[in-house]
Amino acid sequence: MCCKWNAQRSACVGGPGKIVEVDEMVFGKQKDRLGQQHEVQWVFGGVERGSAKSRFFFEPVERRDAPTLVEIIERLVRPGSVIMSDGWAAYKSLGRRGYKHLTVNHNLHFVNPKTKAHIQNCERMWREARSNIPR
């Protein structure tokens, strides 16, 4: 059901000068309070800032490595976009692939003091997505 909803609403985002925030999030709990293991699903997504309609994409991923995430970005984020992300190493090649790449280190700041980069819109998107999933 989630995959069908995603396929109907996800879209290519960005374009020259447009800002796209990207991030990954885990859905589910790895262990419950009794210590039992449960399945989790990593999801990679992005949101275009300032779009009239909320333009975004979600994609379930098995791995969060550079080949996986960069392939999704190249497929769903238009060249010339400004991509903002956390400091995850998988994103390091984006500057060489036709994107301007800005990062924020969440261990130090929520907003990069030099570049003003942040991914708060993406974080909010994850919070809203999680809040609509039944417990």
**What is the extent of the structural domain holding 20?**
2-131
**pLDDT tens column, 72-83:** 999 999 999 999
Domain of 87, CATH number, reads 3.30.420
Whole-number average pLDDT of the chain? 84
Question: Which pLDDT score, from 0 to 100, does residue 38 have?
Answer: 72
Nearest residue to 133 via CA among 26, 21, 55: 26
pTM of the model: 0.81
Nearest residue to 76 via CA among 25, 7, 14: 14
Distances (CA, A) of 87 to 9, 17, 32, 42, 114: 27, 21, 29, 18, 15
Distance from chain centroid for Cα 12 = 13
Q: Do residues 68 and 102 touch, judged by C-beta distance below 8 A?
A: no
Examine the pLDDT at 4 and tell me if it is beyond 60: no
**pLDDT tens column, 13-54:** 999 989 999 999 888 766 666 777 778 888 999 999 987 567
**pLDDT tens column, 61-100:** 999 999 999 999 999 999 999 999 998 888 989 989 989 9
Report how many domains make up the chain.
1
